[in-house]
């Protein structure tokens, strides 16, 4: 596994969050907290996978920078994912 990718299992959780447009609270490796709705997964110009969050403003978060994903949407398929 390269440092430019996350495991397939973790990637699946991010895909589900986008599919259902879950409202998320993200904790990044630099301790920054970001909240917003999961929209899509895109590749940056450098080839890194990023989660698009529809917040204020819309942001792209590199998947490798995530340490925790918390789902704020009620009755979601999952509540929390820890990235290692």
Q: What is the 3-state secondary structure (H, E, C) of 36-56?
A: EEEEEEEECCCCCEEEEEECC
Domains of the chain: 8-82 (2.30.30.100)
pLDDT bin (cut points 50, 70, 90) of residue 5 is: confident
Q: pLDDT at position 1, please?
A: 46
- Span 44-75, pLDDT tens digits: 999 999 999 997 889 999 999 999 999 999 99
Please give the Cα distance from 77 to 24 (Å, whole number): 13
Q: Which of 56, 23, 58 is nearest to 38 (CA)?
A: 23
Contacting residues for 12 by C-beta, under 8 A, at least 6 apart: none
Contacting residues for 2 by C-beta, under 8 A, at least 6 apart: none
Its pTM stands at 0.91
- Span 30-41, pLDDT tens digits: 999 999 999 999
Residue written as token pair 């009755």: 75
């Amino acid at each position: 596994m390269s440092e430019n990718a996350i495991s397939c299992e973790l990637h699946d959780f991010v895909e589900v969050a986008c599919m259902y447009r879950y409202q998320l609270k993200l904790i990044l490796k630099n301790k920054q907290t970001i909240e917003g709705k999961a929209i899509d997964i895109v590749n940056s110009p450098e080839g890194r996978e990023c989660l698009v969050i529809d917040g204020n403003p819309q942001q792209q978060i590199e998947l490798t920078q995530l340490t925790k994903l918390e789902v704020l949407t009620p009755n979601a398929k999952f509540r929390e994912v820890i990235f290692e």
